[in-house]
Amino acid sequence: MKMESKSLLTGLLLSFAIFTSLIPAGMAEDIIERQETAKNVILLIGDGMGFPQLTLARIDKAGGNLSEYGDVELSMDGMQVSGYVSTYSANSFVTDSAPAATAIASGDKTNNGVIGQDATAVQGEKDGKNLTTILEMAEKAGLSTGLVTTTRITHATPAAFYAHVDNRDNESEIADQLLESDLEVILGGGLQYFVGMNQTDPAGKPGKRTDDRNLLAEFVSHGYVAVYNSSAFQDADANKTERLLGLFDSSHMLYELERSCSPDSEPSLADMTKKAIQILSTNPKGFFLMVEGGRIDHAAHERNLSKMAADTLAFDEAVNSSLNFASHDNQTLVIVTADHECGGLVLQPENLEEYEAGSIDPIFASGTAKTPGPRYDFITEMQEATHTAVDVPIMASGPGAEKVGHGKLDNTQIFSIMKEAFGF
Ligand SMILES: [Zn+2]
């Protein structure tokens, strides 16, 4: 829709310019030509990764030793510019991943639970107007596109880059839309929404689709090489693979702490990111890649500090792989951010003795405030932690990165920064 009205506008401007000579020369060309500052954009989203999650990851990397902590740096700490981002949705101070990723992908606020549609949508009740995503713009311009995540590929954050539904839970429909989206690289979990309930997925579990479609077979007939475990993934030759579908779990992929190195296990987020870049970078026009560290959020919901720290560090490895590529090619904008914080992680001493001893005892504040009693009492009875309204970090490197380093951004502005970098 947007492209059609754009070319209509261009046509009007051209005839107007010829007729009256009032339009400055070159203006019509500016509208239709791609004047990119970046050939490629890699966007990395740590789901649920607020500032305290980063601090905890550094403490974990230092092995909990204060003497080593000062020398510890994450890869994302060394990026050229950094700032912070507001994350509220159209109908809540506290967003979920659906409107947060929609804002980043399409530049518009929408309501909680809604994917790729504007705020006239009501979750599960009423469709809104479909928004155009940065990934769809890149596809239309002939660039290659890819999505890499540790969640189901139909989960809210990746879905917001290719799907348009009024309810994030419609994952079968989201999978249908993925097939129609023509991406070059798709890596993550979520096999269950690709086969019917009467079928068994390649991980050995029953599917969840109510129709009898086998989307995996349909992807293969669309020219995708399909892989379902780590060794087949490693064997896929990036130079010979034009389209890669790698789905490694029925649902979400394993937490980093649970992942093994056996050949039938799952590849790491960094390995998936490297392979995606190898395949996508064969397109001379450039590429767009979104990488999600999706389970940082899940560990925070579970209030599991060690899983959360390990998944944040695994995400940082993927950032490192992206920065390594960008430093050689010099034409890649790399942006790292989060969709929201999760858990209200507090890095504090538990009491005065701990404070005086210089140690901390991290807790998740979210969900605890209304429950009286000693902390460990309510931790056992507490429900899962929730997202919070606090701002999240953003870092950027490469051409176009300077737009990030000017104080607070809103999540919708990340879309504009990527769009301008691409020259769309
Ligand atoms: Zn969450």
Please give the distance, rounded to the nearest whole angstrom, from the Cα atom of residue 361 to the centre of ligand 1: 23
DSSP reduced 3-state for 351? coil
Task: Output Rg (C-alpha) for the chain, integer angstroms.
Answer: 22
The helix (H) or strand (E) run that includes residue 415 is helix 411-422
CA neighbor of 343 nearest in space, from 385, 384, 293: 385
Give the whole-angstrom CA distance, residue 403 versus residue 241: 35
Please list the active-site residues.
97
Please give the distance, rounded to the nearest whole angstrom, from the Cα atom of residue 98 to the centre of ligand 1: 10
- Each residue's pLDDT, cut to its tens digit, for the chain (424 residues) gives 333 444 444 444 444 444 433 444 433 334 446 778 999 999 999 999 999 999 999 999 999 999 999 999 999 999 999 999 999 999 999 999 999 999 999 999 999 999 999 999 999 999 999 999 999 999 999 999 999 999 999 999 999 999 999 999 999 999 999 999 999 999 999 999 999 999 999 999 999 999 989 999 999 999 999 999 999 999 999 999 999 999 999 999 999 999 987 777 899 999 999 999 999 999 999 999 999 999 999 999 888 899 999 999 999 999 999 999 999 999 999 999 999 999 999 998 888 988 898 888 888 877 554 444 444 344 444 567 889 999 999 999 999 999 998 889 999 999 999 999 999 9
Please give the distance, rounded to the nearest whole angstrom, from the Cα atom of residue 140 to the centre of ligand 1: 31
Give the whole-angstrom CA distance, residue 424 versus residue 408: 24
The DSSP annotation for 19-76 comes to HH--SPTTHHHHHHS---S-SEEEEEEEEE--HHHHHHHHHHHTTT-HHHHTT---GG
**Cα-flanking dihedrals φ and ψ of residue 289, to 5°?**
-130, 130
Please give the distance, rounded to the nearest whole angstrom, from the Cα atom of residue 301 to the centre of ligand 1: 7
Please give the distance, rounded to the nearest whole angstrom, from the Cα atom of residue 343 to the centre of ligand 1: 9
Q: Where in the chain is the domain with CATH 3.40.720.10?
A: 41-344+385-422
Give the whole-angstrom CA distance, residue 109 versus residue 213: 33
Give the whole-angstrom CA distance, residue 44 versus residue 269: 11
Give the whole-angstrom CA distance, residue 155 versus residue 294: 9
Looking at the DSSP assignment, which residues form a beta bridge with residue 68? none
Q: Around ion ligand 1, which residues have CB less than 5 A away?
A: 297
Protein fold of 41-344+385-422 = Alkaline Phosphatase, subunit A (3.40.720)
Please give the distance, rounded to the nearest whole angstrom, from the Cα atom of residue 341 to the centre of ligand 1: 9
